[in-house]
Amino acid sequence: MRDDNSNPQKIPPTMRALQLRAYDGKPESLVLVEKPVPHPGKGQVLVKITATPVNPSDAGFVRGLYAMQKKLPVTPGFEGSGTVVAAGSGVMGRALAGKRVACSAPFDGDGTWAEYMVTSAKMCIPLRKHVSLEQGAMLIVNPMTAWALLDIAKRGGHRAVVQSAAASALGRMIFRLGQRLGITVINIVRRQEQVDLLQALGAKYVLNSSAPDFDEHLHRLSHQLQVSLSLEAVCGEIAGYILRALPKGAKMIVYGAISEQGCQIDPRSLIFDGKRLEGFWLAEWARNKSMFGQIRAAMQVQKLLASDLKTEVRARLPLEDAAKGLQQYAAQMTEGKILLVPHGSKTHTEQF
């Protein structure tokens, strides 16, 4: 599939979109429908979606496990890419007309798992010429999160960090970006094949949480390297193990809960060792950034999309195969992203 051109396009009256009808995670609750193409209002744009990924946040959203539950029925999908084909009133929207963009879904409306989406012009990032629409579709959720977390680490003077879910797409980005920024990363995974994967990428410190001596090794290594920050994406028991192993005064930032469990933290770590527990949500981080800060971060991330912040794609599917894509992704997240291609077909999904 080729990138859409930069000229505004003729807009059809209707479009295909995925519609979630219940927050129960059942395949039959995600239905492909035909509906009118929405019209952008003041400060909004209409994006013709080229590609949109399945992320852990999407998998959680369709099951009702995300931070927000939108009014049903609703089209899921938090991020994607495409071309702005119409704009409502407002300078920013008109400036984006005809431009290729990465885009986020509105907080209170339909998302990216559709042929077209209306969103705020402020939630669109113009793509640089060297960035493909496929890369742009995966620019926001993982790359921006990796950038934000390592920016927090750098500004906080943390010279060594430990991260869980290190073999995930985001975990690999954090490891590679840490190398670039001179921040040592201890990587924690659950299986030996994930250890092998990260070591093949050049990771020096990889620990398997399933090993019988995991706690001892993590404690020794984190003190040896003076780890002062943990980036936690799993929660459950592993969060407690990690925080307990870290030196006094260390901080844990929780940005995910892959285990779908709460953080089982020993209160003694917080009371007697001066350790801290914080949460991170990308949307909130972005809201607290100035417009200049957001633009700078977006430009820096785009420079690294083909290297440190690269995302592997294992399948490109049409909208009608979204339920299958969710199941494939949930079964093995480390094998690469599932991309939905709204305007593609089963015979054209590999032609980016």
Residue 351: per-residue pLDDT: 35
CATH number of this structure's domain 144-283: 3.40.50.720
pLDDT over 90 percentage in the chain: 81
pLDDT band at 6 (very low <50, low <70, confident <90, very high): very low
Q: Look-up: residue for tokens 């590679």? A: 176
Lowest mean pLDDT among 92-101, 234-243, 297-306, 341-350: 341-350
pLDDT at 332 over 90: no
pLDDT at 165 over 70: yes
Gyration radius (Cα) of the chain, Å: 21
pLDDT at 4 over 60: no
DSSP assignment string, 284-331: HHHHTS-HHHHHHHHHHHHHTTTTTT---EEEEE-GGGHHHHHHHHHH
pLDDT band at 2 (very low <50, low <70, confident <90, very high): very low
Residue 155: per-residue pLDDT: 95
pLDDT at 11 over 60: yes
pLDDT at 346 over 50: no
| Omega of the bond leading into 73 within 30 degrees of 0 (cis) | yes
- Find the helix or strand (DSSP H, E) in which 126 lies: strand 124-126
Residue 335: per-residue pLDDT: 77
What is the average per-residue pLDDT within 105-134? 95
How confident is the model over 44-64, as pLDDT tens digits? Answer: 999 999 999 999 899 899 999
Q: Look-up: residue for tokens 């089963």? A: 346
- Look at residues 11, 69, 74, 18 and name the one whose alpha carbon lies nearest to residue 40: 11
Q: State the Cα–Cα distance between residues 265 and 117, nearest whole angstrom.
A: 41
Q: Which two tokens stand for residue 262?
A: 């709460």
17 - beta bridge partners? 33, 114
Residue 9: per-residue pLDDT: 65
Provide the residue ranges of all domains of the chain, joining segments of one domain with +.
14-138+311-340, 144-283
- The pairing of beta strand 251-254 with beta strand 229-232: parallel
Residue 5: per-residue pLDDT: 41
Q: Which CATH number fits domain 14-138+311-340: 1.10.357.140, 3.50.30.60, 3.90.180.10, 3.40.50.970?
A: 3.90.180.10
Q: How many CA atoms lie within 13 A of 173 on its CB side?
A: 28
Q: How many residues appear in the chain?
A: 352
* In contact, 97 and 302? CB cutoff 8 Å: no
Decide which of 27 and 33 is more confident.
33
pLDDT at 345 over 50: no
- The pairing of beta strand 14-20 with beta strand 276-279: unpaired
Q: What angle, rounded to 10 degrees, do the helices at 169-181 and 145-155 form?
A: 40
